[in-house]
Amino acid sequence: MTEDRPSYLAGALRRRRYLRSAWPWRALAYALTTLPVAGVLAVAAGVLAAPLLLVVSALRQGRPVDVPVLVVLTVVSLAGLAVAPLVGAPVAAVERWRLGLVDGRPVRAPGRRGPAARWTGAAAWREVAYAGWLGTVVPVAYGTFALLVLLDAALVAGPWLAGGEDRIVLVWATVDSPAGAVPYAVAGVLAVPALVYLAGLLVAGQAAVARWLLDDAPDATALREVTRSRARLMGAYEAERRRIERDVHDGAQPRLTSLTLQLGLARLDVPDDSPAARPLDLAHEQAKELMVTLRGIVQGLRPPQLTELGLAGAVGDLAARSTVPVTVRAELSRPVPELVETTAWYVVSEALGNVARHARATRAVVRLTRTGHLLVVEVEDDGRGGADPARGTGLTGLADRVAAVDGRLLLASPAGGPTLVRVELPCRP
């Protein structure tokens, strides 16, 4: 299932099987490849900071600072600022590539930049900030973690280290025999999983900072505004849909029904051999066909099963009319908003239609689950798999419909099956 395979380290850390997955090794690979990059940047940062440290040391000792020293400090600082964007760009390119070790989500690099943009663009200075962070904060964090690892290694090796004549100190205790070091060795072995998780957290934090500073995707403010705009449009669309449905149901449909009835009564009063008999027959049939068409339009706006039966009942009705045996499992502890309910019904309808037309399945299962502020819809079949949105199976339109209500669609369909369509729809109060 797609949701059981997180695409980034922070998500994998929340899984119970983290220690048995490949993610700890990927985190280790990311940390090891960080060392040379961070080491070079740390040396460069030390060289740039050396004149400033000398000035600070002189001031603390009460000695005057010579003018040449100030000139050198100013020149070094200006040169560092001038060169920083040129250094930050290749470092950022390497870091975007390395980020793939622990985060499979795409990272967008800035577009082509002219010479002036290398010193004036916000993206360039975010790259400089990341390079500075990588050369200062990261070495300190990695160094602290290395001390913890060495301390744990000393605990584990305590029974062997305590075999000599000299006493050894393990954490806060002095040990003079292998037997006395055994409890500490056991504690060190038990601490290994915690260190693995701590290493994962350290790497996940580094990766989060890298994504925050190096991803040139649209900013959060713009995305929030787009989301709000889409929500307003969907709200307006839903209100207009209800108005049209009400007008058609309460206005046009009764009048058309009355017209059909009047035409039928008029046809009964006209003899069969009358010249008006055939036109009345045609008008009566066309009126009845128009009633069927209008009923279909109203049902297309909002399926009447949802109003009459609710979401679980309407999905059960879809399952009963499916050509493939379908089992419905609904766990809806609370009511679902109308717009989300309609979207979920269309998701199940389209998914079951795809199962009947393309999957060659012998059975299917529909699961509806309301957890917190989320409605989860899952449609699973035992068909041949290989579903591809690019082949026109309706999945692209389904994903667009789900995205319109700020939901997401996940698809798992390996060749040979089974196929699972999972849709997560937010249920805002």
DSSP 21-48: SSHHHHHHHHHHHHHHHHHHHHHHHHHH
List the beta bridge partners of residue 410.
422
Residues 363, 382: contact at Cβ < 8 Å?
A: yes
d(CA 170, CA 149): 14
Asked whether residue 117 carries a pLDDT value surpassing 50, the answer given is yes
* Band (353; pLDDT cuts 50, 70, 90): confident
Query: What's residue 4's pLDDT?
Result: 43
Q: What is the pLDDT of residues 9-20, one digit of tens each?
A: 888 888 888 888
Residues whose CB falls within 8 Å of the CB of residue 397, separated by 6 or more in sequence, listed in order: 350
Q: Are strands 168-170 and 364-371 parallel, antiparallel or unpaired?
A: unpaired
Q: What is the pLDDT of residues 280-320, one digit of tens each?
A: 778 778 877 777 766 666 555 567 777 778 888 888 988 88
| Average pLDDT score over residue span 327-332 | 88
Asked whether residue 197 carries a pLDDT value surpassing 90, the answer given is yes
Query: What's residue 405's pLDDT?
Result: 80
133 token code pair: 């962070």
292 or 231, higher pLDDT: 292
Cis previous bond, 418, omega within 30: yes
**For the purposes of burial, counting CB atoms within 10 Å of the CB of 31, is it exposed (0-12), middle (13-18) or buried (19 or more)?**
buried
Q: What is the pLDDT of residues 121-178, one digit of tens each?
A: 677 778 888 888 888 899 999 999 999 999 888 888 877 777 665 666 666 777 777 7
343 token code pair: 């979207």
Q: How big is the chain, counted in residues?
A: 429
List the beta bridge partners of residue 168.
175
Q: List phi, psi (to 5°) of 207.
A: -65, -35
To which residue do tokens 């309460």 refer?
250
* Band (222; pLDDT cuts 50, 70, 90): very low
Asked whether residue 386 carries a pLDDT value surpassing 70, the answer given is yes
d(CA 130, CA 136): 10
In this structure, of 45-59, 80-94, 247-261, the range with the lowest mean pLDDT score is 45-59
Query: What's residue 89's pLDDT?
Result: 81
List the beta bridge partners of residue 88.
none
Query: What's residue 296's pLDDT?
Result: 62
To which residue do tokens 């060169």 refer?
83
Query: What's residue 78's pLDDT?
Result: 66
230 or 127, higher pLDDT: 127
Q: What is the pTM of this model?
A: 0.51
List the beta bridge partners of residue 364.
326, 381
| Average pLDDT score over residue span 405-427 | 85
350 or 3, higher pLDDT: 350
List the beta bridge partners of residue 377.
368, 423
Query: What's residue 365's pLDDT?
Result: 92
In this structure, of 52-56, 122-126, 127-131, 384-388, the range with the lowest mean pLDDT score is 52-56
Q: What is the pLDDT of residues 77-89, one digit of tens each?
A: 666 666 677 777 8
CA-to-CA dists, residue 104 to 10, 142, 205, 421, angstroms:
11, 23, 15, 21
**For the purposes of burial, counting CB atoms within 10 Å of the CB of 311, is it exposed (0-12), middle (13-18) or buried (19 or more)?**
buried
Query: What's residue 57's pLDDT?
Result: 67
262 or 196, higher pLDDT: 196
199 or 268, higher pLDDT: 199
User: In whole numbers, what is the pLDDT of the chain averaged over residues?
Assistant: 78
249 token code pair: 């149901």
Query: What's residue 223's pLDDT?
Result: 47
Neighbours of 370 (CB within 10 A): 19
| Average pLDDT score over residue span 370-396 | 80
Asked whether residue 394 carries a pLDDT value surpassing 80, the answer given is no
Amino acid at residue number 267: R
Query: What's residue 140's pLDDT?
Result: 92
